[in-house]
Amino acid sequence: MPTEDTVEAGAVECEIRIEARPETVFPFFTDPERRVRWKGQTATLDPRPGGIYRVQVQAEHTVRGEYVEVDPPRRVVFTWGWEHEDTLVEPGTSMVEVELIPDGEGTLVRLAHRDLPAEARDSHRAGWTHYLDRLAIVAPGGDPGPDKGPQA
């Protein structure tokens, strides 16, 4: 299970160790087919600075942003926000930074989601914890089963 902390105003940070090398884990943040194995029903990803980042996480919940930095297999940064009306986090208003740090034969994944309003942090922390747990199963070749969302 990821460890997590709110590290600065407006930020949620999660960390998890995955039993796969960074070269194996990295494509799960940039390849649409791999992305939906751990998070999302559909994904449109163009992993280059300015390229689209769009993932339909659940039936009525789609996140949209753009890639800011893509440095395989070490780091990926993208903007983030929800497409639905009345959201606290509109597309492009927050930023997700992912660092992949070699750790023996595994990878330490450090994820920081910045610029979140206070009332959105708990739900985003729960979501990232849920999905990073799924990534820890998928990246080494496992099957996390159907995604029932972070509340399940």
- 149 domain-assigned: no
pLDDT tens digit sequence for 24-83: 999 999 999 999 999 999 999 999 999 999 999 988 899 999 999 999 999 999 999 999
Q: What is the CATH number of the domain that holds 108?
A: 3.30.530.20
Confidence of residue 10 (pLDDT cuts 50, 70, 90): confident
Contact between residue 16 and residue 2 where contact means Cβ atoms under 8 Å apart? yes
| Structural domains counted in the chain | 1
41, part of any domain: yes
Measured between alpha carbons, how far is 109 from 136 in angstroms, rounded to an integer? 10
Residue 98: which domain range? 3-138
Residue 151 lies in a domain: no
User: DSSP code of 49?
Assistant: T
Integer-rounded Cα Rg, in Å, for the chain is 14
Q: Which of 2-6, 106-110, 121-125 has the lowest mean pLDDT?
A: 2-6
Instruction: Provide the 10 A C-beta neighbour count for residue 39.
Output: 22
Q: Which helix H or strand E contains 111, and what residues bound it?
A: strand 106-114
Q: What is the pTM of this model?
A: 0.91
Q: At residue 117, what are phi and psi to the nearest 5 degrees? A: -65, 150
Cα separation, 142 vs 46, in Å, equals 26
In a domain, 152, yes or no: no
Q: For residue 7, tell me if it sits in a domain.
A: yes
pLDDT of residue 106: 98
Residue 75 lies in a domain: yes
- The confidence score (pLDDT) of residue 7 equals 44
Segment 12-27 shows an average pLDDT of 98
> pLDDT tens-digit profile of 101-122?
999 999 999 999 999 999 999 9
Per-residue pLDDT band for 9 (boundaries 50, 70, 90) equals low
The whole-number pLDDT of residue 3 equals 44
Q: Are 86 and 97 in contact (CB under 8 A)?
A: no
Residue 103, CA distances (Å) to 22, 66, 85, 108, 150 in order: 9, 29, 41, 6, 27
Residue 152: per-residue pLDDT: 47
